[in-house]
Structure 1
Amino acid sequence: MNRRDFLHKASVGALAMSIPGTITSLFKDIPMGIVVHSYGSRWNSKTPSAKYPGFADAVDLIEHCHKIGAGGVQVVVKDWTNDFAKKVRDRREKLGLYIEGSIGVPKKTEEVAAFEQEVKNAKEAGMQVLRTVCSSGRRYETYHSAEDFAELQKNALSSLQLAEPILRKHKMKLAVENHKDWRAKELEALLKQVNSEWIGVTLDFGNSISLLEDPMAVIKTLVPYVFSTHVKDMGVDEYPDGFLLSEVPLGKGILDLPKIMALCRQHNPNVTFNLEMITRDPLEIPCLKDDYWATFSGVPGTELARTLRMVRQHKYTTGLPRVSQLTPEERLAAEENNILACLAYSKNSVRL
């Protein structure tokens, strides 16, 4: 970064933080994009529906997101042919949407060639940023000892080191998500070990609450590395073994979205804002059970106390939304309505 770029970024960020009322006017005129996981019910849906037909591939997703006024998509890149990548590129260029990818990382040397082919396909489609995760599931459900989690950390570092030369070769950015796996300082330490300009963060605004972290502390720790985002708002409630956590429509939850988005822009003026509004039953975070703590030996009790106090103070007043009792058609409708409500918030409240 040269001196002029640094001064520009610093001045924009300072203005955004010092004059909250003007935050919205500083954002680029690019509507919020949509993460494919927002369409968990509709993506590859087998439910016959005239009103909410399933999306068979990335082109279907692009077409629909353009229709409802989104600015782009973040979609899985796997097993694409070069011809399909070109089809994706042609369609998104015609519609004027940006596109980001979601990709796996190589676990061993023999997988590097396949990884490179997916990177090449993503680049052919017009992608510059690829989101990834380095774990196989939620930390408190998948890893049952300190040794298990240490193995994850070792394997994640190895995977990113295998991926880095390919990313550098093709000038593609890889953004590791805080995916209910890494606490913020752990992910920061991983990125510092890799030490590459091509590897940063997909900053999920709410996931780390499940790991007893303060959301703004997570943002401030990881935002210097932000390449992409998963925008969401979160609702919370109590249950006997800990607390419940749900994605809720933007503006209805506990997160300070304008402040978070301003911080993202301050550190990366080109960052995209990608909606991940997952319509599902609340997740149970069993932080009062012994098993939950198997990989959290260094986390102080004050973090648990602060989180449970926050839950009691900000319980979702109307009860967290549930969808398991709905028919498949009703779930599709609830999913679409939530996404449309979030897009409306992004346009009316933060002027994306």
Structure 2
Amino acid sequence: MNRRHFLAQTAAGALALSWPGLARPAPATRMGIVVHSYWQRWQAKTDSPAYPRFTNALDLLTHCHELGAGGIQVGVDGWTSDFARQIRDKCDKWGLYLEGSIALPKKPDDTVAFEQQLVRAKEAGVGIVRTVCSPGRRYETFTSLEAWQTFQKNAVAILQAVEPILQRHTMRLGVENHKDWRAHEMALVMKQLSSKWIGVTLDFGNNVALLDDPLDMVRTLAPYVVSTHIKDMAVEEYADGFRLSEVPLGQGILDLPAMIALCRQHNPAVTFSLEMITRDPLTIPCLTDKYWTTFADTAEAGTGGRDLARTLRLVRQHKPADGLPTVMQRSPNDRLAAEDRNIRLCLAYGREKLGL
């Protein structure tokens, strides 16, 4: 370990002492990479000589180390003890942080698989795991207010059920705002749980799809931040609402310096993990009746005309000159090349403009 790395690790470690579950200090301020950034390359069905597939987390970790990233966030399902030790050894050798991604139980009384994944994650040196309550987008997954309300109650019950397991293994869980909870709803859940073991994996861009103001969303959720998905977003109007797309950092509408500062204010040891998903734009049909089905009970909290008007105004003020990028019509190798290029652009911007 050289002098620069030692000083960086020592400073980060001092900041992290008050945050339970951090198995090792984050390496200075280097940005890491979320596995979803490589969704084209991760276990790809067709191999490419220029962009060989990642068959497991060790492949991803090695590649991200070679790029100069600070660590990775990756799924731990299916790991053996031996593989977990291999990952830990590499992270220790290269001075990288490691965060896990883990699925919640489907029912509060079915936590065996969840705990098994926690054990493997801990063997690998993970102190923070990320999860989602709903794998799908709220406005696509839930077709009635009752279905949404049932989901909310079940999600809280499941989080309450895993909390003592997290405490037993001294692991922190970050629940991602995954185009399901609006910011104020998620904050209420965190207050209800009131647990130092459960916080938020704060995704910088997802809640644009739910008409949350991006900076207000971070202000609301930063007090609970455990880990992050840093990204930038671009928008474009269409007949039923707007399209939303991840773009390389600095090319979108988000105030990244302010968001980073807010997260650090509440958790000085927080890591910033890039989630740059190279894909076609998502459609946000906020001018359709179906979109609003599950928001009927939250009008008093700000959902409605005001947020819709503000979001559409934002969309119209930031119309991309050449439209949003699309990739799915390209050849597999061209998609891989675009993905690789976007991630490298983000890492460069993070180093040069964001201090990451």
Superposition TM-score, scaled by structure 1 size = 0.91
Asked if structure 1 preserves the Cα contact closer than 8 Å seen for 2:27 and 2:95, the reply is no
1:330 to 308, 317, 334: 334
Asked if structure 2 preserves the Cα contact closer than 8 Å seen for 1:107 and 1:158, the reply is no
Equivalent residue letter for 1:204: D
What does residue 200 of structure 1 align with? 199
Equivalent residue letter for 2:312: L
What does residue 85 of structure 2 align with? 86
Distance 1:310 1:136 in 2: 27
Aligned-partner SS, 2:133: coil
Asked if structure 2 preserves the Cα contact closer than 8 Å seen for 1:237 and 1:316, the reply is yes
Map residues 129-148 of structure 1 onto 2, 5 A cutoff: 129-148=128-147
What does residue 44 of structure 2 align with? 45
The C-alpha deviation readout for 1:295-340, integer Å capped at 9, x for no partner, is: 0112221111111111000112221110011100000000000000
Distance 1:341 1:272 in 2: 19
Distance 1:287 1:202 in 2: 25
Instruction: Confirm or deny that 1:349 pairs with 2:348.
Output: no
Distance 1:316 1:203 in 2: 26
Distance 1:72 1:205 in 2: 18
Equivalent residue letter for 1:339: I
Instruction: Confirm or deny that 1:252 pairs with 2:256.
Output: no
What does residue 74 of structure 1 align with? 73
Instruction: Tell me the number of residue pairs that the alignment of Structure 1 and Structure 2 aligns.
Output: 328
Aligned-partner SS, 2:112: helix
What does residue 64 of structure 2 align with? 65
Distance 2:218 2:304 in 1: 20
Note the C-alpha offset of 1:226.
0.3
What does residue 321 of structure 1 align with? 325
Distance 1:288 1:138 in 2: 16
Aligned-partner SS, 2:33: strand
Distance 1:47 1:351 in 2: 36
Distance 1:172 1:28 in 2: 19
Distance 2:208 2:230 in 1: 14
Distance 2:190 2:321 in 1: 39
Asked if structure 1 preserves the Cα contact closer than 8 Å seen for 2:29 and 2:355, the reply is no
Distance 1:221 1:274 in 2: 20
Note the C-alpha offset of 1:112.
1.2
Note the C-alpha offset of 1:101.
0.5
Note the C-alpha offset of 1:110.
4.9
What does residue 236 of structure 2 align with? 237
Aligned-partner SS, 1:342: helix
Which range moves more in the overlay, 90-99 or 64-73?
Answer: 90-99
Note the C-alpha offset of 1:136.
3.1
Which range moves more in the overlay, 110-119 or 276-285?
Answer: 110-119
Equivalent residue letter for 2:283: E
Distance 2:146 2:213 in 1: 26
Instruction: Confirm or deny that 1:126 pairs with 2:125.
Output: yes
Map residues 94-243 of structure 1 onto 2, 5 A cutoff: 94-243=93-242
Asked if structure 1 preserves the Cα contact closer than 8 Å seen for 2:27 and 2:96, the reply is no
Distance 1:206 1:114 in 2: 30
Coordinate RMSD, CA, aligned: 1.4
Distance 2:320 2:171 in 1: 40
Distance 1:265 1:52 in 2: 34
Note the C-alpha offset of 1:115.
1.1
Note the C-alpha offset of 1:48.
1.8
Distance 1:186 1:255 in 2: 21
Asked if structure 2 preserves the Cα contact closer than 8 Å seen for 1:245 and 1:285, the reply is yes
Aligned-partner SS, 1:296: helix
Aligned-partner SS, 1:310: helix
Where in structure 2 are there 5+ consecutive unaligned residues? 1-13, 16-25
Aligned-partner SS, 1:237: strand
Note the C-alpha offset of 1:46.
1.6
Asked if structure 2 preserves the Cα contact closer than 8 Å seen for 1:101 and 1:122, the reply is yes
Where in structure 1 are there 5+ consecutive unaligned residues? 1-7, 10-26
Distance 2:238 2:106 in 1: 37
Percent sequence identity is 60
Runs of 4+ in 1 over 4 A off after TM superposition: none
Equivalent residue letter for 1:155: N
What does residue 12 of structure 1 align with? none
What does residue 19 of structure 1 align with? none
